[in-house]
Structure 1
Amino acid sequence: MKKIAFIALLSTLLFSCSKVKDGEFILEGEAKGIANGKKVVLHKQDDSLGMIPIDTTSVKDGKFTFKGKVKEPFMHLIQIEGINVETFYTILETGEIKMVIDKDSIQKTRISGTYNNDEMQSFTDKRNEFQATIKEFEYKNQSKLAIAQNENDQKTIKQLQADYAVLQKKLKDYVVKYIEGNPKSYISTLLIGSLFAEFEPDLQLIEKYYNGLDESLKNNTEGKKILKKLKEFKKVDVGKRAPDFSAKSPEGKVISLKETLGKVTIIDFWASWCAPCRQENPNVVALYNEFHAKGLNIIGVSLDEDATKWTEAIAKDGLTWTHVSNLKKWKDPIAVQYGINSIPKTFVLNSFGVVVAKDLSGKELRAKIEELLAAK
């Protein structure tokens, strides 16, 4: 009995040592070299308003403190009066957070004390190592590159570019490895979210990373943002780049949208069993015959299930452009990707693969094609 009582007492003492309860945080900062009275402002990112101040304190005896409540981990920023650095990052979450800032050595700022802040510091340290290596390479080779460019020394230029690409890939590989290996880290959600900023985001890869996250992060604000963006990017609309796809032609050759792009391209979703599609086909045939030589390409995506009926319809209607199909009717992955729930359905793309019009047929489609090709 005495042993049990002692263990219970010890557990109580250990628990009581914490300064915070669940849903609360204390951020204790050490401000080395920063004068008393200097203002310290805590900011939170708002999607509509940008950075908004949520609390203010002052440095006293080289220290500052913020206390409050949190519902979930969320990135915040700290600004200190008199320091020529815009912000210091911290993730507010339940627990005791420690921050050390040295006015004379800003790069040595440290954040710790809770799981996500420890993870952020560890990730930042490793990322900084890769970035330092890249900067060192740039510094050591800038003169060599300048000379090679001046002398049109393509061999040296290509070698330097290749070496630089290797260093960048190491950093990218580290980020990927971190995401895959840390499904419970808030940092992973920020890294996944940053992938949307690429010129052509790899939506399948982003979705894979999102699906690998812990459920707690999927339900976090950042996790919900990722899911929302995935849905937005997947929606094929005017002004957005048409997602690439590939499928087999009637001859069994795998053909992609990317390789069929012309000055203007029509993606035509149809099927042999679709009466309105077949009625529209003569108009599309006339359009193609008139404008193909001027840069119009068409790729037909059939929602057929029967390959024979598909190929017979192509021949009977005289559809001489590129055709592909997965022969899965409404479950065709391209149709799912493009959100197709009725046919005929058309998307008109410019030479860059960006959707400039959709759902056009007959005279309206002809007028749009004439307009786009005339502008070339």
Structure 2
Amino acid sequence: MMELYRVELMDTATILYAEMYNHPNYWVRLSSGAYLEGLTSGKKYKLLKSADMELDKEVYMPESGNSSVTLLFEPVDPNEDAISFIEGPEKGDFRIEGIHLKKELAKPGTFECILEGEIIDRPQSSRLTLIRTGKDMRTTPFISIPVRDGKFNYTLITDENEMYELVFWDEQLNGAWRPTYFISEKGTLHFTLYPMEHRPHSVMQADGALNKEEIRIQKEIEKLYPVTRLEEERDELEKKEHYFSKEIYDLKKLMSDAKTDEDRQKLYSEYERLCNAGKEYSEEGLVLNKKFEQYFDGIQKWKLDYIKKESTVNGLCLLKQMLDHAVMMARYYPGKEEFPAYSEIFESNYKEKFASHPYVKDIERIIASMNVKVGGSYIDFTAPDLNGNMIKLSDQIKGKVALIDLWASWCGPCRRLSSSMIPVYEMFKNKGFTVVGIARENNNTDAMKKAIEQDKYPWLNLVELNDKGNIWEMYGAGNSGGCTYLVDREGMILAIHPTAEEVTKILKEVL
């Protein structure tokens, strides 16, 4: 990835300051043929030189995963309002389009939320990502904040008090991260961020009322239910290899030493067997997990009581967080979900009071998604096909048994499941069965078109670009690549995320 963070306009040159990112020990390369293109004039401005990175060469990333680059171009015309950076015409070449050269005036009602802080004992961390809580970074544009000399500073300009989260980019690369939450409000927030295993992993200081209340909430919860202490106990058990069972520790060592994916898969199957047989944890681990369960139940009840009593922005943000978590848990543990009186609390305490807040529409969609379950009804929507034609889902599946296939070109499991449905579709398509695919894509449909060509899906595919239609949120699948829903002729959901074999069995019964 290439990220531009500053442009300097001079009479003798136009200077671009950027950061190059990749995994540590992976390389990036910049072409000497890169140029700037004026969006006003259409003129091209040649790259003169790079001040600190050799061009046309593979430059390997250090432990931090990033390298700074300063690029000097020909001076742009003073009348240019915006430019684009174009490395070249090939697919994969870097392009940064629509770089504005004139400062835009702040819109009425906007405010500045200044984020600053230091990073402790994390030399590998060169970047933080910032996104609204509940959004998926794979499909929603996020803000990138560079870390320099262990410090960061960013001014978030917004017009709403919403919950955000800061995440270390290197933790995301490794597939596990601990977010730091805050509410956007006018003023300065100071963070001290630590490695994931540190307790606590972050400390926030605030001069605004909303985040002062967030700090108070966390302190009160920790005082009543000291989860941090339990985490420290778990860390100690882990060091002694007493948290999991001996069989699991032995299996983990074998998995670490495995040479092939086939060997790892066999070991993982054995891992799943042990877990399903109740042999995952030691006796000490089971006792500790029971305490965690009791604490989390207590925290849930405390939060529920708070959102009932406090019809404030803090309460609204907490309600949204709790709903996001409830829907996610319902997805991973179907049939075990429990939704307290969220809908009633929302209707009586928040809906009218915060009618203009964007969370109101979000929460309405989330509450509606709770009915997306076996025995419930599918939710209708309209989305474009690859030619830009707007298609209504109900028009395509009316009077048929249908598989609604939410997928993404970047989601391997989604594509494997979709491909497995092709023989099922061919077998039953003339008997009243159909499939409609909707691909969750980012910025453009190039990868989607390539995936359809490779996988040869014979059915209609629509596109959800940058979550514009909030379709995944409607279906309670916001943090996933996709999911499938088999519905009958009346629109009742017969199965969620069934296998091809399960779909075949059901179709033989209902068609």
Question: Above 0.5 in TM-score?
Answer: no
Q: Return the structure number with greater helix share.
A: 1
TM-score norm. by structure 1 comes to 0.44
- Structure number, greater radius of gyration: 1
Structure with more relative contact order (C-alpha pairs < 8 Å, separation 6 or more): 1
Length-normalised TM-score, structure 2: 0.34
